[in-house]
Structure 1
């Protein structure tokens, strides 16, 4: 008889996740494993031993507050939870400066400020359970602890966290700083560009990732509109108007299977990538066609179902791990504590709604593929969204993180990002398999010992040429080397191919180059060992030749081709283990070539991809692979 522990409910596939009651059960199944980890005073949860850039007390506070996104929504929706008293006791003790488990006062730029947001949300939506039971002294302790109105904060989405600290006090009749609340909201509004898009911070660096939508800005705008719309109707209507515009674009970041495109930082928040759609429901926001309630419900619940099938995201105790498709520190940021991952519970906001709400009453509808364009240029994030050949992905130029961050070049600087093929990050240096080389052109001037890829794009622009959107940018790996790149989306005739044209002026350096396609699952189906040379049926394996490389696995079919001279060598690299977000063992079709000093050359690249969700992809891929794209005449003229 097996003695192994049963899987936590969330990954046990026991539920179709179609009804509110089933989502309630899932939310509780993710909260229940946390209960044994509460500290004696119920103020902290120690969920692991890894460290962060901030103190351990702040890290354990994350474990306490972040589940409150889901916990607060449960209570607001009239649900009971057996651990509710743990959080109430924790609020009492954590804000009491005389208690041995006091959370500590916030300093400037303190992580405690972040955690005031989910706590503030819960206090706003569930005051009967979390505020009313407090004594006058305890309420004053909460008020004083939440008072960060004279503290320095980053000029980013963090300002929303102070908004929710003040909002929680205002909604519960406690003293708050109305002037600071208004000033913060006014400043946050300067982040908005147009079309619903907000930059995450100052104008001098383009950064529009999931923080612009689901993780923070759009999400919190909609929560604010619902919670305080009666007091601030003008701003609430503006936030709803922005969300209606943003929703039309954000829909393209999801695929028919429920997955979101892997782009940007903090992807260890996983289900939070769909949080915007939960906020739409929470705010009672009706969107324009084709985004009726049934479509919104489908996008959110399919994403939840996708994560419910990922058995490797929880540890043996049912705790969500740092990582994406599996536990992985390489993809993390230095602010990811073991409790950080529970930011994902913000996507349970729809549970605050009753069963009678149109969101829950609507019949779930499929992704509206037939109602949206297959190619859509997005001016503000500098993305070209693609839905062709069964593949959902984007082309990107122009974005970067405006402060030092681990693997920033992988999270923002790659040429393409996919929902089916996760991006890879560096695991070290000194060999090309460890650089996270998918969807980048990597250059080395020391015979391959170290490599540089695009991190800071220069002169990035989006042009429409003969009816086709094109992304153009430059970057300088060294002061005397310049790379100019053109990114062209798939045509209708060759739907599984996109083009990348690079002009390299090498200055006084002899360069090695390596350009990667999408990374994919890298093991043989039969024995789980390393991927072998293509089998006779060409349904699985790797294939390399002069000027091209392709790999077919249970993870899909991916290839890369040099379309013109000079010819590059085709290689299928075995990426360093655990470098990819989704696949712990991955391979990377790539092209390699040496470029001499003082050269001025063009590399003409075509990248091929078919996700495993495409029916019979293991037999159909060959037809698409043989049907190569052409370089457009206008591009040939520019190259000449």
Structure 2
């Protein structure tokens, strides 16, 4: 990664070791927004790109989302010099007679999302954002929030947004009917699937919305709400249990697992660790919690995630609209400021007083039954095999949810052209084509199972083609077995891990029958064919630029071959590691091919349906 372009990142020169460093980070991230506030203070417009919702809602995002960092900053005793701007903007944005009015709010409207940050700020620091306002302005703001909370919210983590608005109204003494608040809290708890995991609504998936939304807001509720002690106890118990699983979504360098939607919220992914501190919940020793938290923000500090003026871009490791969602406006990335919640804690809190622990090491694979995953730790990385996640209503959904493997070090590629089979990356995937032009991959599953540390899924790329996939960890490798039944020949392309491609073609590649190895400047990635039914050809594929989340240019080792009609068993071994003599040594000997009959027996004996996938069909929406 070229560090020159990373210097626009306001965090780049910040050591990010102390509470004061993080307080400086909030201001350094906020200050580039100041030139883009409207005259009345209610709107922030950062770019001309659009989202599915209207521009006034996007500009409200730019006003509200920074409050996730500003409110804890001020609550922790730090100076924020622009409260007059926020009071003015709040009064004008909620005033139907003002030119900068945010607009009326309908059911399931984006404005409901952003008002949660305002409710949070009212609950945390009313002395800054509410109390100095005139009585007339207070009435206008209260009326807008009261009207919003009567609306219908989307049946997922959005239901917490009414709860957060209500926490703010309660703190500033505005009366409302609490029955709707408790109804939503009950419905949110109904998404619990065990071991601290939630679904984000009636869907067949779990993703970063579990830590950075469901738990994050639940921990805030546990601190700020009055009464409701039994519910608070349940929320805290779930978060405590969840910590021991979600730590396997964070690599030893601080990177989080690039998986699922909304990756542009970036360091919001680490907000869960800050939420534990805010709730005074020592789910793991404070030294470990602090280590996961601080390593995460330091990882982001070195990436070119900002435009030249220091404004956060849409993208992940660099500006990239290809991987974004239709609901990502130019202001959306500022949800990342949820990370700074523990700034509200005093400097002598045990979280801030703790010394960061070194990253934990795990020698054995770790089954995560609820999401249908198996994690295993390799040098510099956590590899996560995945079975049973899907999102069939989103651009790039199969890459975000349905690959066979994800990794904290090797972020996934998004396919850029679904009419060019040979140009597709298929990292962590098996791609299939009937005509050599269009292609299919695993998108939705008919079944998803876990047994010990092995995974199984059954899926159909076409109605008359059935594929059963087994995933088996053999650290640092993993093995994929695909039993394919097809009535006609099909072309296939299967990819290993995507690694950064160097300038001047300095990378070395090894291609041949049944094998491809990409020797990059920083990493080595290999794929090997262990099949006996077919021999595939190895290729080191140069991916379409800007398709990977972290690196704009990547290499992917692939195996390609045509399978005949009938039944074929493909067996694939993949590995990627930081470049070293050890990484090269690990390419030999090859891993052992699992015995398929033994695998089938294991699943007959011990399989359980993946809870995230095993959804009551009538609720899917």
Question: Which interval holds the TM-score relative to the shorter structure?
Answer: over 0.9
1:213 CA drift (Å): 1.1
Residue 529 of structure 1 corresponds to which residue in structure 2? 504
Number of aligned positions between the proteins = 596
Deviations 1:215-248 (CA, angstroms, capped at 9, x unpaired): x1011000110111x4222211111100000001
1:426-441 equivalences under 5 Å are 426-432=415-421, 434-441=423-430
1:474 matches 2:458: yes
1:510 CA drift (Å): 2.3
- Give the alignment's TM-score, normalised by structure 2: 0.93
The 10-residue stretch of structure 1 (166-175 or 316-325) with the greater mean CA deviation from structure 2: 166-175
| Unpaired stretches in structure 1, ≥5 consecutive residues | 532-539
In structure 1, how many angstroms separate the alpha carbons of the residues matched to 2:74 and 2:153? 30
1:419 matches 2:419: no
Which secondary structure does the structure 1 equivalent of 2:460 belong to?
strand
In structure 2, how many angstroms separate the alpha carbons of the residues matched to 1:87 and 1:452? 49
**Bigger RCO (CA 8 Å, 6+ sep):** 2
1:624 matches 2:586: yes
In structure 2, how many angstroms separate the alpha carbons of the residues matched to 1:436 and 1:5? 26
The CA RMSD over aligned residues, in Å, is 1.7
Residue 604 of structure 2 corresponds to which residue in structure 1? none
Q: Find 1:489's aligned residue among 473, 476, 480.
A: 473
1:99 CA drift (Å): 1.0
Aligned residues of 2:6 and 2:306 also touching (Cα < 8 A): no
In structure 1, how many angstroms separate the alpha carbons of the residues matched to 2:270 and 2:19? 17
Aligned residues of 1:434 and 1:579 also touching (Cα < 8 A): no
Residue 309 of structure 1 corresponds to which residue in structure 2? 302
Which secondary structure does the structure 2 equivalent of 1:543 belong to?
strand
In structure 2, how many angstroms separate the alpha carbons of the residues matched to 1:284 and 1:328? 37
1:276-355 equivalences under 5 Å are 276-287=272-283, 291-310=284-303, 312-355=304-347
In structure 2, how many angstroms separate the alpha carbons of the residues matched to 1:391 and 1:627? 21
1:588 CA drift (Å): 0.7
Residue 537 of structure 1 corresponds to which residue in structure 2? none
Residue 219 of structure 2 corresponds to which residue in structure 1? 222
1:171 matches 2:171: yes
1:558 matches 2:525: yes
Aligned residues of 1:143 and 1:175 also touching (Cα < 8 A): no
Aligned residues of 2:414 and 2:547 also touching (Cα < 8 A): yes
Deviations 1:343-376 (CA, angstroms, capped at 9, x unpaired): 000000011111111111111111122xx56311
Aligned residues of 1:8 and 1:29 also touching (Cα < 8 A): no
1:520 matches 2:499: yes
1:87 CA drift (Å): 1.4
Deviations 1:430-453 (CA, angstroms, capped at 9, x unpaired): 22355441100000011x111101
Residue 211 of structure 1 corresponds to which residue in structure 2? 209
1:400 matches 2:390: yes
1:52-201 equivalences under 5 Å are 52-147=51-146, 148-201=148-201
- Give the alignment's TM-score, normalised by structure 1: 0.91
In structure 2, how many angstroms separate the alpha carbons of the residues matched to 1:433 and 1:302? 38
Which secondary structure does the structure 2 equivalent of 1:297 belong to?
helix
Aligned residues of 1:385 and 1:395 also touching (Cα < 8 A): yes
Aligned residues of 1:459 and 1:474 also touching (Cα < 8 A): yes
In structure 2, how many angstroms separate the alpha carbons of the residues matched to 1:368 and 1:638? 33
1:634 CA drift (Å): 5.2
In structure 2, how many angstroms separate the alpha carbons of the residues matched to 1:581 and 1:390? 18
Aligned residues of 2:42 and 2:100 also touching (Cα < 8 A): yes
Q: Find 1:633's aligned residue among 567, 585, 595.
A: 595
Which secondary structure does the structure 1 equivalent of 2:580 belong to?
helix
In structure 2, how many angstroms separate the alpha carbons of the residues matched to 1:46 and 1:434? 36
Which secondary structure does the structure 1 equivalent of 2:527 belong to?
strand
Residue 496 to residue 373, structure 1, CA distance change in 2 (3 Å): closer
1:80 CA drift (Å): 0.9
1:22 CA drift (Å): 1.0
